[in-house]
Amino acid sequence: MDMLKGKTAIVTGSTSGIGLGIARALAARGCAVMLNGFGDAAEIARIKDGLAAEFGVRTAYAPADIGDAGQVKAMVDQAAEELGSVDILVNNAGIQFVAPVEEFPIEKWQQVIAINLSGVFYGIHHALPRMREKGWGRIVNIASAHGLVASVSKSAYVAAKHGVVGLTKVVALETAGSGITCNAICPGWVLTPLVQKQIDALAEREGIPLDAAKKKLLGEKQPSGSFVTPEQLGEFAAFLCTDAAAEMTGAALTMDGGWTAQ
């Protein structure tokens, strides 16, 4: 389980949900981890120290706003200084806003694009030179089933995630043969705080219990009828960072309970 020992990973949006699941999977394989995200300072410190103690790896934390290019650069520099290198970059941070196109607030569009798409570019832009210096690197972009198909009222999110899939392909071509890979994971419904908000809103809007709202949400899109878990996505991302996946690059890989097979 120490196949990534000696490597350092930055995982954006890793103080909860999918990002934390990925950070745990990488730490379990001996990888030093730079955490990033918002939340209660004491809880973040507990997570950071807990990972270090549980897996015997070095950890650090950067509160960078992923939609700000300067803060992303500072985070990459901090990872290199505190943890020794930047070998793996997992671009996971994301936000959501739902409204019909003609009612979509301009500032919300700009915010979703800034974090969900531009932030992915900023991370790659600043981390890639360090990977090239070592002749090895792994970039894993957490896109979405919405990077492959669309849903109503999610114009900014769908546009951003389609952009992430396209960016993934470009980076894969530009790094082909260099020892660096770049892939996108496209999850379906994952029970994260972001999705829980949508479940809560659905339950309130339709006046139904939370369990019924969960089933309705899954039933609309995900044939398996079950949520993808952060742990499953963590294992998937960790695999993409191994030598076994050295010839996987430029791929948009689904873990969506059959969503995009329809």
DSSP-assigned letters across all residues of 189-231: -B-SHHHHHHHHHHHHHHT--HHHHHHHHHHHH-TT-S-B-HH
Residues 6+ apart with CB under 8 A from 15: 35, 36, 37, 38, 39, 43, 44, 47
Neighbours of 245 (CB within 10 A): 16
Please choose, from the candidates 156, 196, 187, the residue with its C-alpha nearest in 3D space to the C-alpha of residue 260.
187
Q: What is the DSSP letter of 149?
A: S
Give the helix ranges, DSSP H, for the chain.
17-28, 41-55, 69-83, 106-113, 119-134, 155-175, 193-206, 210-221, 230-240
Token pair belonging to 135: 């002749």
Tell me how crowded residue 31 is: count the other CB atoms within 10 A of its CB: 26
Q: Which helix (H) or strand (E) holds 8?
A: strand 8-11
Structure tokens at 194: 């972001």
Q: Which of 55, 109, 157, 236 is catalytic?
A: 157
> What residue type is 90 in one-letter code?
V
Catalytic residue at 122? Answer: no
CA distance 252 to 103: 31
So which residues are the catalytic ones?
157
